[in-house]
């Protein structure tokens, strides 16, 4: 079995400020730093940190040939992620994201996807063909949708579980929803997709049921510190979050998806896998950065044990 993440690999530029400047304003920030990120890469690292070699983790995507790309490949490999399906586009810059974090830890992101948008169907299919029954494919929407759909079709045919994180939201994603076994929008994405405001477990359940009617077997709506709503065959319930002190919410959704994929790859049922994802997401928000904020196996297991106790 394998966990394969197909998606964005970005260099993140963080600016922390007590108050984020509005249009036409200039405000003083408190911190600036860079760190490897991107939804696909974050999810691969989250899975690799928890699995610690028990199940192989692979990354598929496209880097440029600028000074950040080598750093991002090294970051993936340093935690055991196989980068055999990570290509290099000559003369292109890598994806970048500017992330603003306010005094409450909430973030806003503007991304320029660069070389990520050169992922083609040939690369995506080749990566998906490495999967076997019981494997997990993680995809998002930071790479071309036709390549993502091609990988999802191959993974489905090979008996792998396909998890789609529908971020950033795009209008032309009906086919992707039908190809996904599990859809994992956050409350904002669920609101966009369902056309209704999602802000609590009740509204998350309503949106999840609407999205299931469009062809996705399981919908999990992440609700930040409220937990996640799981809607599937015979399951309709909230998996609550853990009480933690957040520093930054960057990467929390990616940590959840990586933890969810990890649980499924290890043979856990859907709810237990969701609990692993919730624990990974809760730990992520207690530290700065993206990939370096992903928690190791020992911390995730300790938090889960504390909840059971």
**And the tokens for 211?**
């999205």
Contacts 24+ apart (CB under 8 A), 203-212: 204/229, 205/229, 205/231, 205/236, 211/177, 211/183, 211/185
Q: What 3-state DSSP class applies to 121?
A: helix
Active-site residue flag, 254: yes
List 82, 181, 192, 254, catalytic entry:
254
Closest CA to 46 of 98, 93, 81: 81
Residue 224, φ and ψ in degrees, nearest 5 = 55, -125
Closest CA to 127 of 92, 93, 96, 158: 158
Task: Tell me if 193 sits within 8 A of 211, measured CB to CB.
Answer: yes
Tally of CB atoms within 10 A around 102: 14
Give the separation between CA 97 and CA 62, rounded to whole angstroms. Answer: 15
Which residues are known catalytic residues? 254
């Amino acid at each position: 079995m394998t966990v394969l993440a197909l998606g964005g690999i970005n260099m993140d530029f963080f600016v922390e400020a007590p108050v984020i400047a509005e249009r036409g304003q200039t405000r003083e920030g408190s911190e600036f730093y860079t760190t490897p990120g991107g939804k696909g890469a974050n999810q691969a690292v989250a899975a690799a940190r928890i699995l610690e070699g028990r199940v192989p983790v692979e990354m598929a995507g496209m880097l440029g040939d600028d000074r950040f790309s080598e750093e991002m490949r090294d970051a993936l490999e340093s935690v055991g992620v196989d980068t055999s399906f990570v290509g290099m586009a000559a003369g292109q810059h890598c994806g970048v994201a500017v992330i603003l974090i306010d005094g409450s830890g909430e973030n806003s992101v503007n991304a320029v996807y660069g070389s990520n948008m050169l992922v083609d169907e040939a690369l995506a299919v080749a990566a998906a063909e490495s999967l076997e029954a019981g494997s997990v494919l993680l995809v998002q929407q930071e790479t071309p949708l036709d390549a993502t759909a091609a990988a999802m079709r191959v993974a489905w045919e090979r008996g792998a579980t396909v998890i789609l994180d529908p971020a950033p939201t795009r209008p032309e994603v009906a086919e992707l929803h039908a190809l996904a076994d599990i859809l994992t929008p956050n409350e904002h994405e669920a609101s966009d997709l369902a056309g209704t405001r999602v802000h609590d477990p009740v509204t998350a359940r309503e949106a999840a049921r609407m999205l299931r009617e469009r062809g996705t077997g399981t919908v999990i709506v992440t609700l930040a510190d409220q937990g996640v709503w799981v809607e599937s065959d015979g399951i309709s319930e909230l998996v609550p979050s853990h009480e933690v002190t957040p520093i930054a919410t960057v990467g929390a959704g990616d940590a959840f998806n990586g933890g969810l994929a990890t649980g499924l790859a290890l043979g856990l049922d859907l709810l237990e896998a969701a609990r692993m994802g919730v624990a990974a997401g809760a730990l992520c928000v207690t530290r700065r950065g993206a990939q370096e904020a992903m928690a190791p196996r020992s911390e995730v297991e300790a938090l889960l044990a504390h909840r059971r106790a």
